[in-house]
């Protein structure tokens, strides 16, 4: 955000907005302002005295004018009084601030702690009388408004002011991509450090039971998610599934359905998928099919899952005949891409995710390709132990955000893959065949990388794409440490699997190719000799 506060803090009386907001500003080296203190300077008396002499409506007018002034001129952390967001004009101003990229933080304290602090502080005309009863009544009215306005929610129960301030900094540094469109219940993809802490806010207060579906390999992160969920009051069922594609089978799904039935999961309960793309695909499929659909949240823990499987509403399982042939379109309540999980990734698992990132650059956003070029060496040599807090973290966060925006664009305009969304499958027709022929020993991002080179070669052979763009595919992907060739299957086997591709129509082979970078097109039934020649070209390094 170019102008206005770095962050605005709202919350109930006693939530600690002033103390935590000041700590946050100090950590960031920014100025801090408290609206109530600034109002008292402006009116020349205490707020209690002004309430008594002029009444609440007059106070709210002064408060509204001061907030508008600060929204346009103050660049630090700005804490508002508890009642400020209840004024319609202030609500409009805060929505404009958020729409412009601002961070509106709802500081949610434990009610007992907040009431005790509010009573101890005194000088609060809104709590005259039975202070606790008044606080609870105000909370019932204000909480839904705070939750609707804020784009960052920080729960402070059990935290020191310093811990809460650090949490606010982490949360305000996040990137958000909103996914909307026909047939889509709007949801957000939130990217940043500490995003798992937002699980209770995305799940809401309706679910009683939550099925936490994850793989053994992400136990460190699932332990953290389980603690967060249980602390928020959910009854958590911990469900461990096999790693990678071995977890995406009907047998695994059936075992989970039986578990949900035995444990009394209802339509108002929820599913959380935490892991790589195969895990989130399976978790989404279970959520879509249990009682015809329950709420679910995706928590991707790999780069590939963050940029691909977790967003878009595709859920599914594999069959012996192919990948993702059984599934449904079912959008999540939210996606939480916690960058801390990338710090535990081995280098090869991180690098394969760059295959999907590059694909999005080829089909829609050339700036992605420029970023990959500038940082190829750093990305290729990724070391999770030295990732967080470095300039590379911001680079990766931008790549994730841009790639998710590409996917959101295609999904928002074509949820059920009738046409436009098929462009996201650039490189996938051969990629999926490679995965199947390799019995899923090849990772998806690596197979897609080879598949994009094949698609570029085919486009060149059919007169769609210049040779230099084909070579650019090879050079960029190689510089990132991704494969650009494959030689472990026959052309006949590959073509047989291509006919089972989801884009195929009857006996018509259908490919996604480029006629220039950023401009994909459909290619139906190209000459078979061109397909075979393109295949021969990717068999050579």
The confidence score (pLDDT) of residue 521 equals 94
What is the bridge-based pairing of β-strands 187-192 and 270-275? unpaired
The confidence score (pLDDT) of residue 124 equals 55
Torsion of CA 240, 246, 251, 252, to 10 degrees: 20
Top pLDDT among 119 and 496 is at 496
Of 94-98, 120-124, 216-220, least confident by mean pLDDT is 120-124
> Residue 16, annotated ligand binder?
yes
The confidence score (pLDDT) of residue 413 equals 66
> Residue 277, annotated ligand binder?
yes
- What is the spatial distance between Cα 203 and Cα 287, in angstroms, rounded to a whole number? 13
What is the bridge-based pairing of β-strands 175-179 and 187-192? antiparallel
> Residue 390, annotated ligand binder?
no
User: What pLDDT, in 10s, does the model give residues 58-67?
Assistant: 999 999 999 9
> Residue 14, annotated ligand binder?
yes
pTM, full prediction: 0.76
pLDDT above 60: residue 129: no
Q: pLDDT-based confidence at 173, cuts 50/70/90?
A: confident
User: What pLDDT, in 10s, does the model give residues 445-465?
Assistant: 999 999 999 999 999 999 999
What average pLDDT does this structure show over 134-153?
Answer: 86
> Residue 46, annotated ligand binder?
no
> Residue 270, annotated ligand binder?
no
> Residue 492, annotated ligand binder?
no
Top pLDDT among 195 and 130 is at 195
Using the 8-state DSSP alphabet, how is residue 486 labeled?
-
Of 20-24, 167-171, 196-200, 528-532, least confident by mean pLDDT is 167-171
Torsion of CA 120, 125, 129, 130, to 10 degrees: -50
The confidence score (pLDDT) of residue 226 equals 95
> Residue 343, annotated ligand binder?
yes
What average pLDDT does this structure show over 251-260?
Answer: 93
> Residue 19, annotated ligand binder?
yes
What is the bridge-based pairing of β-strands 77-79 and 32-34? parallel
The confidence score (pLDDT) of residue 361 equals 96
| Beta pairing partners, 522 | 512
Highest average pLDDT, of 11-25, 423-437, 461-475, comes from 461-475
The confidence score (pLDDT) of residue 409 equals 86
> Residue 60, annotated ligand binder?
yes
User: What pLDDT, in 10s, does the model give residues 193-248?
Assistant: 888 988 998 998 889 999 999 998 899 999 999 999 998 899 999 999 988 778 78
The confidence score (pLDDT) of residue 264 equals 93
Q: pLDDT-based confidence at 503, cuts 50/70/90?
A: low
Q: pLDDT-based confidence at 310, cuts 50/70/90?
A: low
The confidence score (pLDDT) of residue 508 equals 78
Whether 315 and 256 have beta carbons less than 8 Å apart is answered as no
> Residue 455, annotated ligand binder?
no
Length of the chain: 541
Q: Is 341 helix (H, G, I), strand (E, B) or coil?
A: helix
Q: pLDDT-based confidence at 506, cuts 50/70/90?
A: low
- What is the spatial distance between Cα 237 and Cα 176, in angstroms, rounded to a whole number? 29
> Residue 439, annotated ligand binder?
no
pLDDT above 70: residue 430: yes
> Residue 246, annotated ligand binder?
yes
User: What pLDDT, in 10s, does the model give residues 351-405?
Assistant: 999 999 999 999 999 999 999 999 999 999 999 999 988 889 989 999 999 999 9
> Residue 344, annotated ligand binder?
yes
The confidence score (pLDDT) of residue 119 equals 61
Domains assigned to the chain:
7-173 (3.40.50.300), 176-345 (3.40.50.1970), 410-539 (1.20.1090.10)
Q: Is 414 helix (H, G, I), strand (E, B) or coil?
A: coil
Q: Given phi > 0 = left and psi -120 to 50 = alpha, else beta, which region is 242? A: beta
Q: pLDDT-based confidence at 415, cuts 50/70/90?
A: low
The percent of residues in the chain predicted with pLDDT above 90, rounded, is: 60
User: What pLDDT, in 10s, does the model give residues 34-82?
Assistant: 999 999 999 999 888 898 899 889 999 999 999 999 998 899 999 999 8
> Residue 245, annotated ligand binder?
yes
User: How many CB atoms lie under 10 A from the CB of residue 214?
Assistant: 27
Residues 6+ apart with CB under 8 A from 347: 381, 382, 383, 384
Question: Tokens in use for 237?
Answer: 């069922």
pLDDT above 90: residue 520: yes
> Residue 489, annotated ligand binder?
no
> Residue 247, annotated ligand binder?
yes
Q: Which position has the token pair 């691909």?
A: 308
Whether 323 and 432 have beta carbons less than 8 Å apart is answered as yes
Top pLDDT among 164 and 419 is at 164
Whether 241 and 213 have beta carbons less than 8 Å apart is answered as yes
Q: Is 89 helix (H, G, I), strand (E, B) or coil?
A: helix
Which phi and psi angles does 187 have, rounded to 5°?
-145, 165
Calculate the average pLDDT of the chain: 88
> Residue 180, annotated ligand binder?
no
> Residue 356, annotated ligand binder?
yes
- What is the spatial distance between Cα 334 and Cα 462, in angstroms, rounded to a whole number? 41
Q: pLDDT-based confidence at 331, cuts 50/70/90?
A: confident
Top pLDDT among 36 and 503 is at 36
Torsion of CA 477, 481, 484, 489, to 10 degrees: -150
> Residue 142, annotated ligand binder?
yes
Q: Is 33 helix (H, G, I), strand (E, B) or coil?
A: strand
Which phi and psi angles does 101 have, rounded to 5°?
105, 5
Number of H helices, E strands in the chain: 22, 16
pLDDT above 80: residue 338: yes
> Residue 190, annotated ligand binder?
no
The confidence score (pLDDT) of residue 484 equals 97
The confidence score (pLDDT) of residue 437 equals 93
Q: pLDDT-based confidence at 1, cuts 50/70/90?
A: very low
> Residue 243, annotated ligand binder?
yes
What average pLDDT does this structure show over 106-118?
Answer: 75
The percent of residues in the chain predicted with pLDDT above 70, rounded, is: 93
What average pLDDT does this structure show over 299-309?
Answer: 90
* Residue 257: its H or E element: helix 250-262
> Residue 314, annotated ligand binder?
yes
What average pLDDT does this structure show over 16-36?
Answer: 94
């Amino acid at each position: 955000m170019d102008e206005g506060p770095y962050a605005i803090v709202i919350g109930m009386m006693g939530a600690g907005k002033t103390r935590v907001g000041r700590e946050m500003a100090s950590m960031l080296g920014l100025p801090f302002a408290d609206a109530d203190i600034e109002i008292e300077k402006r009116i020349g008396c205490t707020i209690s005295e002004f309430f008594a002499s002029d009444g609440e409506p007059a106070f709210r007018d002064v408060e509204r004018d001061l907030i508008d002034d600060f929204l346009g001129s103050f660049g630090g952390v700005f804490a508002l009084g508890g009642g400020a967001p209840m004024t319609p004009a202030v609500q409009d101003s805060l929505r404009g601030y958020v729409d412009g990229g601002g961070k509106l933080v709802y500081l949610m304290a434990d009610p007992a702690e907040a009431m005790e602090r509010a009573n101890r502080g005194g000088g609060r005309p809104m709590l005259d009388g039975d202070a606790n009863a008044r606080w609870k009544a105000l909370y019932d009215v204000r909480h839904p408004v705070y939750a609707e306005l804020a784009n960052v929610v920080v729960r402070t129960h059990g935290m020191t002011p310093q811990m809460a301030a650090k949490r606010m900094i982490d949360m305000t540094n996040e990137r958000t991509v909103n996914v909307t469109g026909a047939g889509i219940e709007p949801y957000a993809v939130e990217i940043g450090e500490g995003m798992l802490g937002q699980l209770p806010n995305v799940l809401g207060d309706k679910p009683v039971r939550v099925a936490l579906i994850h793989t053994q390999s992400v136990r460190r992160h699932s332990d953290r998610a389980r603690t967060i969920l249980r602390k928020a009051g959910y009854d958590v069922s911990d469900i461990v599934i096999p790693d990678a594609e071995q977890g995406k089978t009907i047998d695994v799904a059936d075992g989970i359905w039986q578990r949900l039935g035995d444990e009394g999961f209802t339509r108002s309960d929820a599913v959380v998928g935490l892991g790589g793309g195969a895990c989130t695909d399976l978790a989404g499929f279970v959520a879509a099919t249990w009682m015809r659909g329950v709420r679910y949240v995706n928590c991707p823990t790999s780069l590939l899952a963050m940029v691909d499987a977790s967003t878009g509403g595709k859920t599914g399982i594999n069959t012996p005949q192919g990948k993702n042939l059984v599934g449904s379109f079912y959008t999540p309540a939210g996606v939480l891409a916690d960058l801390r999980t990338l710090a535990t990734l081995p280098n090869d698992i991180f690098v394969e995710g760059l295959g999907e990132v590059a694909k999005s650059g080829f089909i829609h956003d050339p700036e992605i390709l420029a970023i990959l070029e500038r940082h190829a060496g750093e990305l290729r040599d990724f070391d999770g132990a030295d990732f967080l807090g470095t300039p590379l973290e911001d680079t990766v966060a931008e790549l994730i955000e841009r790639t998710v925006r590409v996917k959101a664009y295609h999904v928002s305009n074509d949820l059920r893959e009738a046409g436009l969304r098929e462009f996201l499958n650039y490189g996938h027709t051969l990629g999926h065949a490679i995965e199947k022929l390799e019995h899923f020993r090849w990772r998806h991002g690596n197979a897609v990388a080879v598949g994009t080179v094949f698609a570029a070669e085919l486009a060149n052979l059919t007169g769609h794409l210049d040779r230099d763009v084909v070579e650019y595919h090879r050079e960029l992907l190689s510089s990132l440490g991704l494969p650009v060739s494959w030689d472990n299957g026959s052309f006949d086997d590959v073509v047989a699997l291509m006919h089972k591709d989801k884009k195929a129509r009857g006996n018509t082979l259908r490919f996604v190719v480029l006629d220039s970078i950023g401009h994909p097109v459909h290619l139906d039934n190209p000459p078979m000799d061109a397909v075979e020649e393109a295949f021969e070209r990717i068999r050579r390094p």
